Chains A and B, each alone.
Chain A
Amino acid sequence: MFDLAAAFSSAIALIAGLDAELFAIVRLSLGVSLAAVAIAAVIGLPLGAFLALARFPGREVVLVALNALMGLPPVVVGLAVYVLLSRAGPLGSFGLLFTPGAMVIAQAVLVTPIIAALGRQLVADLWEAYGEQLRSLGAPRLRVIGTLLWDGRHSLITVLLAGFGRAAAEVGAVMIVGGNIKGLTRTMTTAISLETSKGDLAMALGLGMILLAVVAAVNGAAFAAGAWARRVSG
């Protein structure tokens, strides 16, 4: 039975009851997604900036491929990471399958193309405006990458949030590589999926509301940080 009021009350009961299991789930979800975004940023931003500035044969193909990868289906990524990390797989010896580490890897794979593609566009636009001046100042190419990323930092927050949104919202990849193990790899989205299949829609909706609130809080914090930074550095 679909009952919004019941969903609300179960959400409130979960939060008010300071449910330890719930907080563990929220913490894991946030931790995995933020770690994935951090890894994706470290790889994706320099990669995007490089693609914005470099000219080489086949560059267009790479750009199209990168943009296409933004639409990677999470279950496919999950499956690929599962195969790599499974005991018989090439990375099986690390024993990462069904751990939060595996979930971070899978989400980083999902998020990196988003951050690289959006970051590339941002840096390309900045280069349009800055290129002549920076070349006249004598900035070497490698230095330019860092300079442009730093100057675009306010807009980059939005790029990182797009990546975070993707990571926090997806269920397919973490389900496959994490296994939705209670107390170990159960995240908000896998818990919602589980409660739904168990028929406890009120609980599932309650968890959904909490997930939305967590995502909204992260976005709000990023917005506030960006507004503050703009005031300070113009």
Chain B
Amino acid sequence: MISILPLELRGLGYSAGGRRLLSGVTAPRRAGLRTIVLGPNGAGKSLLLRLCNGLIQPTEGDVRWSGGLDEADLRRRQAMVFQRPVLLRRSALGNIRYVLSLRGVARRLRQDLAEEALDRFGLGELARRPARVLSGGERQRLALARAWAVRPEVLFLDEPTSALDPAATLAVEIAVHDFHANGTKIVMTTHDLGQARRLADEVLFLSRGRLVEHGPAAGFFQAPATAQARAFLAGELMC
């Protein structure tokens, strides 16, 4: 199978209502690495993920995937976990079977794949439970299981733990590790610097809609090159 990676962002930008929310983001996104997108609120982190996932069309530049696939096929190779996942009004199992059917998985295979994904995220017992009555942590694990079931090449996570308690946060971090170990490219935003240090191979640091720093995580955390990144890491209030 041809990979859709590497992903290349070329002069990517987005404006709405006369405001430039993101501009001039140019960066290659290599396979294999876990990319953590950091930056203060309103820096354009979530917007960047949505542009990459194709949920929003850029107003400048482009998101260029390898492999020459059309938009629908590209979408099939990606998954996105939102801060607050939208789960359908059906069972936990039903939610996963639904996305498997969207991806064209044969009906007879769906049940096994869905159960396997639920088990992996410790949700096997809750398979028949309505997804809407699960706790916040369980819902996020279900969203991860739903992503797992479709075996994405790239997984985007937008602040996946910002509404979760420490135990649920740990479960998400372990999941990210598992995805990575299985060869899925990770692109994730977070507000939690400790989490960023634990998970990042490389960092994209955004500020005010611009890509300010971009490089290996170790270098970024030990010796940030810009005053903005230094201030951000030092926990200064930025606007």
Q: 1/0 contact trace for B53-96 toward A, CB 8 Å?
A: 10100000000000000001001101110100110111100000
How far apart are B46's CB and chain A's nearest CB, in angstroms?
Answer: 11
Size range of the chain A interface in the assembly: 20 to 34
Interface membership of B99, Cβ < 8 A: yes
Contacts of B75 in A (CB 8 A): 136, 138
Known contacts being A133-B82, A138-B75, A138-B76, is A233 close to B90, with CB within 8 Å? yes
Interface membership of B133, Cβ < 8 A: yes
**Residue among B72, B85, B90, B130 making CB contact with A138, cutoff 8 Å:** B72
Which of A132, A133, A139, A151 lies at the interface centre, i.e. has the most chain B CB atoms within 10 A of its CB? A133
**Residue among B55, B88, B91, B103 making CB contact with A135, cutoff 8 Å:** B55
Interface membership of B131, Cβ < 8 A: yes
Interface membership of A234, Cβ < 8 A: yes
Known contacts being A143-B102, A233-B130, A234-B133, is A132 close to B76, with CB within 8 Å? no
Interface membership of A23, Cβ < 8 A: no
How far apart are B96's CB and chain A's nearest CB, in angstroms?
Answer: 11
Contact assessment for A132 and B103 in the assembled complex, using a CB-CB cutoff below 8 Å:
no
How far apart are B102's CB and chain A's nearest CB, in angstroms?
Answer: 6
Which partner residue on chain A sits nearest B87 by CB separation? A133
How many Å lie between the Cα of A132 and that of B129 in the bound state? 24
Size range of the chain B interface in the assembly: 20 to 34
Contact assessment for B131 and A136 in the assembled complex, using a CB-CB cutoff below 8 Å:
no
Contact assessment for A233 and B72 in the assembled complex, using a CB-CB cutoff below 8 Å:
no
Contact assessment for A138 and B102 in the assembled complex, using a CB-CB cutoff below 8 Å:
yes
How many Å lie between the Cα of A139 and that of B75 in the bound state? 10
Contact assessment for B86 and A130 in the assembled complex, using a CB-CB cutoff below 8 Å:
yes
Interface membership of A147, Cβ < 8 A: yes
Given A137-B146, A233-B89, A234-B133, 11 new contacts (CB under 8 A): A132-B55, A133-B86, A137-B99, A143-B102, A147-B88, A150-B89, A153-B89, A233-B90, A233-B91, A233-B132, A234-B129
Q: Which 8 pairs show the lowest CB-CB distances between chains A and B? A: A234-B130, A234-B132, A133-B86, A138-B75, A136-B80, A151-B89, A234-B133, A233-B130
